[in-house]
Amino acid sequence: MSDSYFVDSNIWLYAFMESSAKTAKALDLINAQNVVLSTQVIHEVCVNLLKKAQYTEDEITQTIQNFYANYEVSIINQSIILQASAIREKHFISYWDSLIIATARTKNCPVIYSEDMQHNQIIENLKIINPYKDE
């Protein structure tokens, strides 16, 4: 089993935008060597940094370059999209969450850190962990 784990966009946004206990936990998660994210997560993070944190295009460019330089980035492809469809049908979850799960599954990540999905839920042998559950 892999020691890599998938980090959803909301955790990244806490790392980039917040100044609270959530920031510290987010930074602990993303500062590891075994973090996986997807092009979907990069898109979601960039859109929110532009809208909510007023990042400049230069800052967005640097953020994107840092993602690719420091983390394993999975490109959403046809196989992942089709897997996500099967996951949605089987587990009755959202389009976006199913893409996260399919991507994490493809990258053999046993854990997804996300604030948006149900804490401790197991889907397709992946455990969802909300690192902020007790806050």
The domain of 72 spans 5-129
- Average pLDDT of the residues of the chain: 94
DSSP strands (E only) in the chain: 5-7, 35-38, 72-74, 111-113, 122-123, 126-129
| pLDDT above 60 for 112 | yes
What tokens were used for 86?
A: 């099967």
CATH at 29: 3.40.50.1010
Residue 99 inside a domain? The answer is yes
- Overall domain count for the chain: 1
pLDDT band at 33 (very low <50, low <70, confident <90, very high): confident
| pLDDT above 80 for 20 | no
Residue 50 inside a domain? The answer is yes
Among the listed residues 1, 27, 40, 18, the one whose alpha carbon sits nearest the alpha carbon of residue 127: 1
Residue 78 inside a domain? The answer is yes
**Residues contacting 82, CB < 8 A, separation 6+:** none
- What pLDDT sits at residue 65? 98
